[in-house]
Structure 1
Amino acid sequence: MPRKIESAILIIFLISCTRTSFSVLYDTCCGTPSGDIYVVRKEKTSIQEYNVFGGYYESNYSRSPATRTSLMRMDTIGGKEEVAIVYPQEILWSRLEDLNISSNKEFYSFSYRETLYLLSFQDTSCHAIVDSATNPFFFPDGESLLFERGTGIYVYRIRDGTSSEFLDSASFPSIDSAGKYLCFMRDTFSIVMDLETGVEVFKDTSIHYPRISPDGSKVIGLRFSGELAIFDRTTGNLITQINLIGASALCPSRPSFVGNDMVVYRGYSAGSILKAIYLLNLNNKHTHILAKEFVTFN
């Protein structure tokens, strides 16, 4: 067979070559005051075609949401996963953000394309409750939900389905387990307010994405350098700061408290574009990986 014909056949083969990939990905994660960790896990099977000029790429006809999406409960020791909810095939989320769990574990909430959803642990039904809203955070009683919308923080009352403005010119809310302190951002300030008196009891300009610990004693936040700063809420003093492994501006981690002394976040796996779920112990500054994303090919 002439060499030119052989080369042409080889090029046609390379262009038409396909492979199947199976991937496990994690969209978002959060901790709870009781020490639980929840993650949204996606499983996806897709067909990739080979282009001699660009390598493998996902075919247009296979660019689809996950084939299975689950809410997983994860332990803090070895990252063992336990299925909490498996969503029906018609609810195949992608790019979920801002997961938050009510303290009574009756409800959970997240944002999807800047729409706030409220879901129950009793079934897989989901309800879009507010448009153009992000960053949900449950009140300790589990009966209402703070969220960010526009330039303010609003409260959504679950039982009657109504919402109203809670605090203007504020964003990224969190609240301690006693419901005494509200943590939020206003302009460049991270603030903690005593809800009984309205007095600001903590204020700092060096961090963003602040969170208050369940017992109200600590405030954490990210520095623009990627470090996690931990403050004493009562004195305002910096306790320590820790480099977050895998954290990047391209993968905002938004750390979440697990109990009062641990923090869970999502970041890059070392030397990879895939992500991992990390658990950081604030006492000994030890970080370990609970779970890693992966892709396999057939």
Structure 2
Amino acid sequence: MIPRRGAVRPDPTADIDGYLARLGLERPARPTTDWLFAAHRAHVERIPYENLEIQLGRVTTVDPAESIGRIARGRGGYCFHLNGAFGTLLATLGFDVTRHLGEVRGARDDQAATDLTINHQVLTVECEGGSWFVDAGLGDAPYEPMRLEAGVLVAQGPFSYGLEPWAGRPGGWRFLHDPAQESFTSMVFAPEPVGPGAFADAHLRLSTSPDSDFVRAAVAGRRHAHGADVLRGRVLYRIDGGGTTKELIESRSSWYELLADVYGLHLPDVDEAERAKLWDRVVAAHEQWLADRAATAGSGS
């Protein structure tokens, strides 16, 4: 297959076998929609959305091969890592994949806004005559690929998601999160294909700026067939068809046990001194979050 101009290129140097082992999948004989769906489900179930390298003060890049190596060693990452790696995996296995610049937006989302503040990497895949929106890096969002068509509305477990043209950019798209979820409202992405280096400046900003949510708090998330498990700081949110339950993690040992048991994050490369320092950072961030909530409540805003 001759890849389209701008499509993601295979990387024969990446640890594809280690990646597939994490996913629990064999190499496909050829690219199929069935395998794409199976890989997407396995990715969001087995490879966590997490920002612990940022919290540990470790430098990472947006190089997909680096992200694939980290995944093969038992870790995860956030969107630039997860979709960066997944796009290269799919391309190396023969899928026709394109990367796009994206922006996750909150409650003040303006559908017509044309500006794009890059904070997300998006993948689209052409397979067996269909076009698919593929995203393993949105935390509590898609469990499976979505057909890239106007007006698409799908139910995946307890959540409903939509896709529509982005009014602010001809050829662009807008993903609509389940309206009951509070993590974000929508995500828009541009139509033009880009390479992985297009996300380097955004990654530097998001991983180092004190204003970045990734710097402010530790996060881990996994999507599964019945909902999502999201850890923000010391609070575990379990989201399913019955709603959301919250649990405050009381101790350092419980927090690390949770990372291992729920997210598969055993962290063999994090020594005791780093574990203590990370927990202290998590506790401090939680106290700041409580103080900020109290101040907001006191101001009546």
Task: State the TM-score, normalizing by the size of structure 2.
Answer: 0.30
Larger relative helix fraction: 2
Q: Report the structure number with the largest CA radius of gyration.
A: 1
Task: State the TM-score, normalizing by the size of structure 1.
Answer: 0.30
